[in-house]
Chains A and B, each alone.
Chain A
């Protein structure tokens, strides 16, 4: 066991009848890492989390936590605690009874109990809430109480099942930052399940993007966004423009491709393998394309006509028809001085330009 394999999920499958909720998944999670399982509902992320908690047992494979095999360990004996999606605050107990729920078997004196609970209340900034009934708490407060309750015995791993889903946008963004700084403060390994890609990108050290019981890619948020390994990941995380391309020549960390209407480009293939003559996809993020109403000099430039524009305050989204490309090309631009693009010239001609390193080369499914 090394710190890199603090949690080691080895070839784990979970079948419910004919449904393969989790299908031969192997993931290593490092000690102290904030690790997210990201995917649409039904992708197996929650089942995987519940297997870590011990509420489900794998059909095949083994899970190790801190070197210890979990297949015979009941959930109440595991060194993990969980924050539930619905928070699962015990309705008949007050805040301090909820937070101190797991301390009962330690047979602490009243003073010790209160000081332990008090520490947690300080941590979640809810001091003075000891005697509140659970129904007197707001959504954000319930979330914090659930967090404190799960952390009070300092588990080796904290599991979080979409804990921010029920909060409104503003509170959610605040809680994302708080959760992240809390994780750094306590140094406990967090495994976080979410279907919200923005949430995963904001908080995680690494993310496993899951689909249909398997993972598509495990990487840091930057790598997932900047260098997705396949079309599904590129599509799921953020927005991506795809162009059919054919590989002409591969060599020395560079590949020459013919991207049809976009012309011939020289791009980095990353760690994917390509061979000459192969069909591929050239992918470009909307914000890596520059848009202007006058033809820029130099670089890769194509001409198009404006199809639609959406003003989002800090930035604008444009959809530009380029001859030879099926779907309008999505372009995102910061609203520094682009406002003139919203004028009457909307339907007019625009020029799109990008640099070579903005292009990601992907296998064609």
Chain B
């Protein structure tokens, strides 16, 4: 496991981001430096509106920084065009959100398969099914593959969402307050499932308000005045 943590996966240096408000621009991030290694888990704490989600959206290539440098592996992706960013989001990142964002009309398996049916490469039906079942098994709900979200509990739904994030075997798992809508016990279960992904060398960045959950991570950082400490 120690060997897995050696190589730097994400390197952010001097990242700045300013949002255009109604009155005047508001600086959210002002020179953020962050390094995440393979297999490492990082918790980011901070007040509401401190820019935690903005930082996560920059790491996940949902948005681009105004300044600074972003290196993924050995590749500078600071100013990546959208088409290539979509490819990287598919290949390198897995996302878990506070709300589960499962499609009600699809089964758990189909929701997980959504990450495979995204136009980035093609998997045969058989291969897709095997990958989906493996991902569901990884989070312990393979037996619920054919259930639709309305029939699942909050914790089960979040685990389906985690399986969706893991199904492409990403190098980085980004979780934005994944336990925010869950009770403590279920939240703990979900965090454990997320942490288990790091055992395979996956980097984990967890944004949370919960200090107990943060304490389970390898590193705990706090975002304050646009800077990580």
Verify that A and B bind, or say they do not: no
